[in-house]
Amino acid sequence: MDNPGKTSSGVTSQSDISAAQQTRWRILTIPAIGLLIYLSYLAIGIGIADLYSYTPRQKIEFWQDNQAQPESAELAQALNNIRHSINWTPDNGEYRDIEGLLLYYQAINEQSAGNAEGFIALTSSALNSFRKAAELRPRWPYSQANVALMKSALDQYDQEFEQAIERATRFGPWENAVNISVTTAGFAGWHQLDTQTQKRVLENTERGLNRNIKQIKQQLKAINKLNLACIHIKSGVSRKKLCGY
């Protein structure tokens, strides 16, 4: 008779079963631990990225609320911060939008200093940031509107511009910032647009006048297109407030 704990040919002992179970447990545990480490790394990265993005967010909000043009040093620091955020989470569309805004602020500073080449280079960089943001969040209307705005600043009224106008007005028809940006970009290049894009710009402007007449008038005056807009906007209370007739 066989002793307990030993096996005869073809019979598995309790110790063999236990060893097999432990092996299977190790096989299952190793990838699970790896997944937990990876998820922890992602969570830490997201937290660090969010921390770096806090100051740029706050500064942009302040500059926009106060219609202020930031100093070069402030912009450089904010841009450095948001690029740290992007390095940690490169697929975050919001951070790409923030980067684009900061680059365009820099472009405006260059334009104010009379540096046309600097303005074009930085606006092109801002456009690339907004393109990436739109790629990451194709239904986010602000990214699309900003693509159109940068294309307008570069005098590029092409298929990409028309697509950005279409998507911005489709996904954010009642968004204030979208209304203002699309109006500015659209009327700046009005005579270079096809009929369908002109129609989208005009409808966007008429929607925006219900809530943003002051800002829209300010933008149209800034690009010397108020009279052009008044010719095309349908008659009514909003046009009378905007145009005086």
Nearest C-alpha neighbor of 104 from the set 121, 126, 80: 126
Q: What is the mean pLDDT of residues 40-62?
A: 83
What is the band of 6 on the pLDDT scale with cuts at 50, 70, 90?
very low
pLDDT at 10 over 70: no
pLDDT at 227 over 80: yes
For the chain, percent of residues with pLDDT exceeding 70: 82
Choice between 59 and 17, residue whose per-residue pLDDT is larger: 59
Rounded Cα distance, 23 and 21, in Å: 5
Q: What is the mean pLDDT of residues 103-121?
A: 97
Domain range summary for the chain, segments of one domain joined by +: 31-137, 169-245
What is the band of 7 on the pLDDT scale with cuts at 50, 70, 90?
very low
Rounded Cα distance, 185 and 211, in Å: 19
pLDDT at 66: 93
- Give yes or no for a contact between 179 and 229, defined as CB atoms under 8 angstroms apart: no
Rounded Cα distance, 34 and 183, in Å: 51
- Give yes or no for a contact between 84 and 46, defined as CB atoms under 8 angstroms apart: no
Please give the mean pLDDT across all residues of the chain: 89
Alpha helices in the chain (DSSP H): 14-65, 72-88, 93-112, 116-136, 141-153, 159-171, 176-188, 195-222, 226-232, 237-243
Rounded Cα distance, 122 and 103, in Å: 6
131-168 pLDDT, tens digit each: 999 999 999 999 999 999 999 999 999 999 999 999 99
